[in-house]
Structure 1
Amino acid sequence: MIEVIATLLRWLQLASNMILVGSCVFLAIAGSFHSPWVARLQRALPWLGFLLLAGLLGILATTTAQATGVDDNAWRPQAWLALIQNTRMGHIWVGRAVLAVLVTAIALYIRRAPAARWRYVLCASVATLTLAVGSLASHSAAEELSLLSVLPYALHIILASVWFGALPAFLVVCFACTQPTARAPHPGIQTGAIARIHELFQSREEAVQAGAQALRRFSVMALPVMLAVIATGIIITDRMVDTSYGALVATEYGWLLNAKIALLGVVLIIAARARSTWLPLLGMPAPDTASDNGAAAGAKLRKWVSFEFVLALGIVLLATIVANTVPAKHAIIQNWPYSFRFSLAATWGEPSVMIRVWLGVALLVLSTGAVALGRVRQWDKKRRLGIPAVLALLALAVGLPPLAIDAYPETYRRTPVPFDTISIANGSALFAENCVACHGLQGKGNGVLAKSFAKPPVDMLTEPHTAKHTAGDFFHWLTYGIPDTGMPTFADKLSEEDRWDVVNFLHAMSRGYQARLMSPRVVPNQPQPAMGPPNFSYSASDGASGTLKDFRGQKNVLLVLFSWPQSRERLEALSRLSPALQAANTVLLAVPEDDLAPQELAAIAADVPFPVITQGAAGIVQSYTLFRRTLNKPDLLGEGTLPDHMEFLVDRFGYLRARWIPDADGPGWRDTEMLMQQVAQLNREKEILPPPGDHVH
């Protein structure tokens, strides 16, 4: 029950705040003149301020109860005070409350003062600040409190307020401007009375014209404002969804967002009709035929804008619920409810698919053109609506099915096992034990049993198979097999964690093949072919321990896989370079490829000034060996060969950016000046992409 009350209170304070902003913006656009509807709006402003304060007080009470888990704390001011003093949410609430008190005071002043634009602008500005401070408690701010993260959300809610908040003012003017017009006075009325009636009639006509002009001004401004609302909404949705677009139709967040978009679509249709048809007829001078058309248009405008306002209240309510729902990118889709999904990655490239999709796009363009043509040719309503609708349905029927592929309950399930060297090494062993006979030593689909199948096993190394399908797809196939292909089930043979380990290995193998595009040179400010390397845990000879991920946001990492004694000369060169690397904000981690005796490993560690990894080395070598391929040496046959020496440069944001393999790349980083140039390039760069995820998708 407390959750329902909290939602309604958030809706109340948000709606009142938005109406305060929109009403003041509307009044500022309308200008400074005397009219009954202006007086009505001014009298309403303080009440909106009081509703805002009441909503904020209720939010404080319910939030305290929810945060402490004790419902009775909703009535205890001492618990409120503790929340205010000790939490970020409480600090944000104080800021909003102070601004709400200030905007209420300004509204009271406006009610008693003559109409003036600057007063409306002041009230709208303070009410906007109240919304902006509230955005600091949004999902965007919760993930990263920065201007870039909060700004789109703040702009979205402020711009939405300019539109939604002005609708009540719009309706007040509509009702004031579309009341029945007085008829000409009867000839028997005295001359003085006739003069007064004419004077009242003229003043009313002037007020109607002024109100109609105010509505048209607002309508002109409303179009770019709504476009900006849609643009900022797309940015926010992209951040809250990330790559999990399937979550839009399989999670609570997605369904709420879809409902919000559907209501917005209806609102946009009403707004377009009002702007193009009814508003131009409003305020036509009497007593001509156009006046009757204007009266009819005014009646429709009142009716449909009232309906638009009700829908807008629903949108604000849904927005309130969405703001307190787990974002789609964090929501866990345990079971995908559909037997298919749409995927460009898995289907694009097939000629038949491309032809049908482009044909669908062409039909969609024709549908849009039919809308414009119908208005120009003045088609009747059935043709004006029916022809574009039929073309749009044909576009969907032609263009969407080719993009559909099979999906499974596990398709969008999040990988519970992190993408690290432990998981990859275990997956490699399981693959060698269970999969090599069919898929081959390197996953190319050329195992000894491959020729016995009517359809050979898929090439998971050189083909972008893992990029076309989700990790959940692979997990499903490992669990239940693939009918009519010879792919067996492994649910009874491998544990769930083991199956996810195999999935991680397949992704590491695919990434390793893509790494053949890398070279000893960093491509400036380019995330490709950069990729997230496997994370690993380690303990080193100097007592240091940690994970590769620990260096994110702080230092570059030069990861050196060496053989002994083949790499002796290179380790000596790196020892001399170590001070320069440290000064360049770069950590050097050395990993022995060989299983060295403890005494020999200790002797090596004693001769170098950087950490030599002693625990975790085997998993690192086994995982990073997958990144050994180059364009000159693709190494696609047999079990694969391990180069004697490999070096990887990981930037401070967690991406693998360059790699040097002496056997394949030539002199490369033997020229230490060249290596330092690459490090300097990484240090000059700002963040290109968010840090790579800890799990495959």
Structure 2
Amino acid sequence: MLEVIAAAARWFQLAANLIILGSCVFLVIAGKEKQIYSAQWVEKLERLFPKLAISIIIGLVIVLAATIGQVTGGTSKLLQAQVWFDFINNTQTGKIWSGHLISAVLLTLSVIFLRKSEKARGRYFLCALIASVPLIADAMVSHSASEGMTIANIAPYALHIILAGVWLGGLPALLLLKYKYVKQVKSSKSSFMDAQILNRFSTMALPVMLLIVLTGIIVGDRTIDGHYAALVATPYGWLLSGKILLLCIILVIAASVRSYWLPLFANSKDSLVTKKSAAGMRKWVRIEFLLAVVLLFIATLIANNTTPAKHALIEDWPFPFRFSIVATWGMDNVAVQVWCGLATAGAALIVLYFGRKANWSLKRLIAIPAVLVISGLAIALPPLTIEAYPETYLRPLVPYDVISISYGAELYAEHCVDCHGFQGKGNGIKARTLSTVLPDMLTEPHTTEHTPGDFYYWISFGMENTDMPGYADQLSEEDRWDLVNYVYALSRGYQARILSPEIIPNRKNIQPPVFAYTAHDGTSGILQDFRGDQPVLLVIFSWPESKKRIEQLKQSYANLKTENLAILAVPAGTLTSKELSEVTKDLPFPLVVEGAQEIVQSYALSRRTMNRPDLLGRGSIPDHMEFLIDRDGYLRARWVPLAEETGWRNIEVLLKQIELLNKENKSAIAADEYIR
């Protein structure tokens, strides 16, 4: 109940704020003539301002009360002033709310001042600026701000909502302006002046709407982050799809008003035609305004009451298919069919252009392009579909870590190696006896073409029309996810062959497995501890084969530490007490003593290089490997002395790579701890 009350209050105060902003902008563009600001419709509009401003304050108080009620578990403590004070003073939400309330109070004072002062264009401009401040505060509690309180995150959403206010808030002013023509016929001089005002608003509204769409795409792309399946399988997606549909309808209505009713009103010499066109325009603008208010309510629910698409969980995919360009584009005739479909859909724009030139009726102008768009999509989309399952978008239960990969390797050796082979190439001892050809899971891009949920489904229930059995009755849910993690580690390990001792700037596409460790000096931690702070050099070594390199790292540690590098040394095998003593003597960085085996086994899957593919038999693990992981948790460079003799043996080369990593801007999205 409290959530419903909070949503309604947010919508109410936001709508009031937008109307004040948009109405003031409308009055700014109305013109410089004093007689405009003394008109009856302006007086009626101004009388609304104080009520709307107070509504913003009341709405904010209700929102805070509902939020405190949700946090404290009920309404019993809402009468305690200390509870309110503690929430406002000790939480970021409370502090932002304080700023929001202060800006709303300033807006109230400004509209009161506007009502009492001499009416002039500059007053409305100042009021519009002040009305923008609460909207910026509102942006600071949006999904965009949850990714980080930075200008880059907040600005697109703030601009989006301010522009929405310029458009939506101007509609009530437009309705009041047209109202006088419904009740009585005005003089031609008055009609001419009002037509100029409407033309100015219409001219401004077009680029404003385009910017609203553009900023909406930017904000939406950030909250979706490639998880487009969530648009049809989560509450966030359903609401967003509804919002987009409403916006399309509104755009059609706005285009109709701009192309038909406004010219009819502006060019009419007959008072009856003027009245009729004004009534028609007012009817459609009223519908546009009502739809915009509904759209605003949906937007409020999206921003405050749903989980963004990129974080939303799709427990049960509702369709037997999904779209995948990656998995289908290389198939025969797919590209040709898709481009033909897009060309057909694109032809709708050409038809629309020439239809307007030829003065087609509105129905014809909408129907023919719509048929072309639908036909084009019907041609282009089917070739891009592949089979999907209820589990296709299921979020992995188990993190992508070295423990899971290690368990997965054991399960793979027990249940899968006879058919799929030691390295997943589909060349096991039983492969030739099967009725179907097994896929090469190592070198072919199966893990990029299919989701983790697809692999989980196949491991659980088998693959139809193949010899692949299901293991749901033999393996637990966690075991099956461990197998999925191992299959992905195999594939990503092969993809890592493109890495070299030199990083490619800003190319962050390889997600290494995370891990926990305990060091020889008693310290412990996880790989994620270094995120946002330091790049990590993971050194997997053998003793005494790597003795010279370890000594070199000891001597160079001061210079490496100056570049803010963390080093973790991981023995490839079990060290004796004597060897451990030799390695750790004067060792200035941690040596992993617990968790080492799993780290070595998992990172060894990324041992291959372009000139040493290591695809035969079981493969072999080099004596020494080093991996450079950046501050966002991505694997960026690798040195395997067995395959690349020089590499980081020259410490200056390593220092150069670290320097390049430190110069990169921190990515807004760190590497995920789950495969996706």
TM-score, length of structure 2 as denominator length: 0.96
- Residue type of the alignment partner of 1:246: A
1:351 match: secondary structure: coil
1:282 match: secondary structure: helix
Q: Is the 8 A contact 1:555 1:652 kept in 2?
A: yes
In structure 2, C-alpha distance between the alignment counterparts of 1:660 and 1:555, rounded to whole Å:
19
Q: Is the 8 A contact 2:542 2:571 kept in 1?
A: yes
- Residue type of the alignment partner of 1:670: R
In structure 1, C-alpha distance between the alignment counterparts of 2:362 and 2:668, rounded to whole Å:
50
Of the three residues 254, 268, 284, the one matched with 1:271 is: 254
In structure 2, C-alpha distance between the alignment counterparts of 1:611 and 1:75, rounded to whole Å:
54
How far does residue 221 in structure 1 lie from its aligned partner after superposition?
A: 0.8
Range with bigger deviation, 305-314 or 600-609: 600-609
Q: Is the 8 A contact 1:177 1:283 kept in 2?
A: no
1:29 aligns with 2:32: no
Equivalent in the alignment of 1:640 = 619
Range with bigger deviation, 253-262 or 88-97: 88-97
Equivalent in the alignment of 1:514 = 495
In structure 2, C-alpha distance between the alignment counterparts of 1:223 and 1:690, rounded to whole Å:
34
1:15 aligns with 2:19: no
How far does residue 256 in structure 1 lie from its aligned partner after superposition?
A: 0.9
In structure 1, C-alpha distance between the alignment counterparts of 2:366 and 2:12, rounded to whole Å:
38
Equivalent in the alignment of 1:60 = 64
Of the three residues 261, 283, 298, the one matched with 2:244 is: 261
Equivalent in the alignment of 2:404 = 423
- Residue type of the alignment partner of 1:110: L
**Rg larger for:** 1
In structure 2, C-alpha distance between the alignment counterparts of 1:130 and 1:385, rounded to whole Å:
39
Of the three residues 104, 107, 113, the one matched with 1:103 is: 107
Equivalent in the alignment of 1:334 = 315
Q: Is the 8 A contact 2:435 2:467 kept in 1?
A: no
Q: Is the 8 A contact 2:227 2:309 kept in 1?
A: yes
Matches within 5 A, 1:139-288: 139-181=143-185, 204-284=187-267, 286-287=269-270
1:667 aligns with 2:671: no
Q: Is the 8 A contact 1:526 1:688 kept in 2?
A: no
1:659 match: secondary structure: strand
How far does residue 81 in structure 1 lie from its aligned partner after superposition?
A: 3.3
In structure 2, C-alpha distance between the alignment counterparts of 1:597 and 1:456, rounded to whole Å:
46
Q: Is the 8 A contact 2:185 2:275 kept in 1?
A: no
In structure 2, C-alpha distance between the alignment counterparts of 1:444 and 1:174, rounded to whole Å:
73
Q: Is the 8 A contact 2:625 2:641 kept in 1?
A: yes
In structure 1, C-alpha distance between the alignment counterparts of 2:229 and 2:592, rounded to whole Å:
41
1:580 aligns with 2:559: yes
1:559 aligns with 2:542: no
Query: Compared with structure 1, are the counterparts of its residues 48 and 382 closer, same or farther at alpha carbon in structure 2 (3 Å cutoff)?
Result: closer
1:316 aligns with 2:296: yes
1:114 aligns with 2:93: no
How far does residue 382 in structure 1 lie from its aligned partner after superposition?
A: 5.6
Of the three residues 601, 619, 640, the one matched with 1:622 is: 601
How far does residue 381 in structure 1 lie from its aligned partner after superposition?
A: 5.3
Is there any run of 5+ residues in structure 2 with no aligned partner, and where?
none
Equivalent in the alignment of 1:680 = 659
Offset from partner CA, 1:233-277 (integer Å, 9 cap, x none): 111111212232111111111111111111111100011111111
- Residue type of the alignment partner of 1:236: V
- Residue type of the alignment partner of 2:297: L
Q: Is the 8 A contact 1:84 1:93 kept in 2?
A: yes
Query: Compared with structure 1, are the counterparts of its residues 99 and 546 closer, same or farther at alpha carbon in structure 2 (3 Å cutoff)?
Result: same
In structure 1, C-alpha distance between the alignment counterparts of 2:208 and 2:362, rounded to whole Å:
29
In structure 1, C-alpha distance between the alignment counterparts of 2:70 and 2:647, rounded to whole Å:
60
Offset from partner CA, 1:348-372 (integer Å, 9 cap, x none): 1113211111111011012222222
In structure 2, C-alpha distance between the alignment counterparts of 1:4 and 1:570, rounded to whole Å:
63
Range with bigger deviation, 672-681 or 276-285: 276-285
- Residue type of the alignment partner of 2:314: I
How far does residue 598 in structure 1 lie from its aligned partner after superposition?
A: 3.3
In structure 2, C-alpha distance between the alignment counterparts of 1:306 and 1:499, rounded to whole Å:
57
Equivalent in the alignment of 1:449 = 430
- Residue type of the alignment partner of 1:305: V
How far does residue 292 in structure 1 lie from its aligned partner after superposition?
A: 4.6
1:278 match: secondary structure: helix
In structure 2, C-alpha distance between the alignment counterparts of 1:629 and 1:478, rounded to whole Å:
27
1:405 match: secondary structure: strand
Equivalent in the alignment of 1:89 = 93
How far does residue 76 in structure 1 lie from its aligned partner after superposition?
A: 5.0
Equivalent in the alignment of 1:196 = none
TM-score, length of structure 1 as denominator length: 0.93
How far does residue 523 in structure 1 lie from its aligned partner after superposition?
A: 1.8
In structure 1, C-alpha distance between the alignment counterparts of 2:365 and 2:583, rounded to whole Å:
82
Q: Is the 8 A contact 2:557 2:588 kept in 1?
A: yes
How far does residue 228 in structure 1 lie from its aligned partner after superposition?
A: 1.0
- Residue type of the alignment partner of 2:234: T
Query: How many residues are matched?
Result: 671
Query: Compared with structure 1, are the counterparts of its residues 340 and 231 closer, same or farther at alpha carbon in structure 2 (3 Å cutoff)?
Result: same
In structure 2, C-alpha distance between the alignment counterparts of 1:348 and 1:378, rounded to whole Å:
41
Query: Compared with structure 1, are the counterparts of its residues 607 and 392 closer, same or farther at alpha carbon in structure 2 (3 Å cutoff)?
Result: same
Offset from partner CA, 1:401-460 (integer Å, 9 cap, x none): 111111111111111211111111111111111111111110111112222233211111
RMSD across aligned C-alpha pairs, in angstroms? 1.7
- Residue type of the alignment partner of 2:329: W
1:346 aligns with 2:327: yes
In structure 2, C-alpha distance between the alignment counterparts of 1:25 and 1:474, rounded to whole Å:
55
In structure 2, C-alpha distance between the alignment counterparts of 1:286 and 1:76, rounded to whole Å:
66
Equivalent in the alignment of 1:185 = none
Offset from partner CA, 1:485-544 (integer Å, 9 cap, x none): 1110111111100111111111111111111111111223333xx512111111111222
